[in-house]
Amino acid sequence: MDAVSRLNPPIRLGERVSLRLSEPARDLIGFVIALDPLTLEDRHGRPHVVAPGTALAARRVGVSLGRDPRTAPRELLDDLAARAGVTGEPELHRISDLLAGRPAPATVPPGRGGWSDGPLHARVEGEWLTTNVTDPALLAELAWWATRQNARSIQIRR
């Protein structure tokens, strides 16, 4: 029995987990995108199939905390907003705060980097999700999408 099978409750799609693997010896952190075979997606969007019986240690991990978004230079935020196609004054948050207490969804919107739906836009660049989405449910969905791309902070431009 490997460490993944000892997790209680059992591992589920969408969760972020950290594994210590024996073959090859390494640590792997990623979001669970398949259960059979167990497959994790790393922050670069690459899938990693975990061979059965190779997990020596397993634990659930939360969304990465990142830097305090309030310390970001305004020029950087404005440049990110311009590339995302959004305007207005920035409202800054840590994605981990926005998603605290929310279970991870099994799937996130497809694609990486950019998302749009009519006048609504979102762009992931570096540690930042920049968007003009204000609907709480859609904002949470986009935040989960962005965490899979290693985003840790969000700026909302209204």
* pLDDT, tens digit (0-9, with 9 covering 90-100), for 64-119: 888 999 999 999 999 999 999 999 999 999 999 999 999 999 999 999 999 999 99
Mean pLDDT across 14-33: 95
| First vs last C-alpha separation in the chain | 51
Q: What is the mean pLDDT of residues 2-8?
A: 92
- pLDDT tops 80 at residue 150: yes
- 40/78 same-domain check: no
Domain boundary among 38, 60, 82: 60
| Final residue of a structural domain among 60, 90, 108 | 60
Residue 121 is part of which domain span? 69-157
Segment 133-155 mean pLDDT = 97
Tell me, yes or no, whether 83 and 149 share the same domain.
Answer: yes
Q: What are the tokens at 51?
A: 């061979």
Give how many domains the chain has, as a whole number.
2
Same domain, yes or no: 121 and 50: no
What pLDDT score does 2 carry? 86
Global pTM?
0.91
Same domain, 87 and 152: yes
CATH of the domain at 14: 2.30.30.100
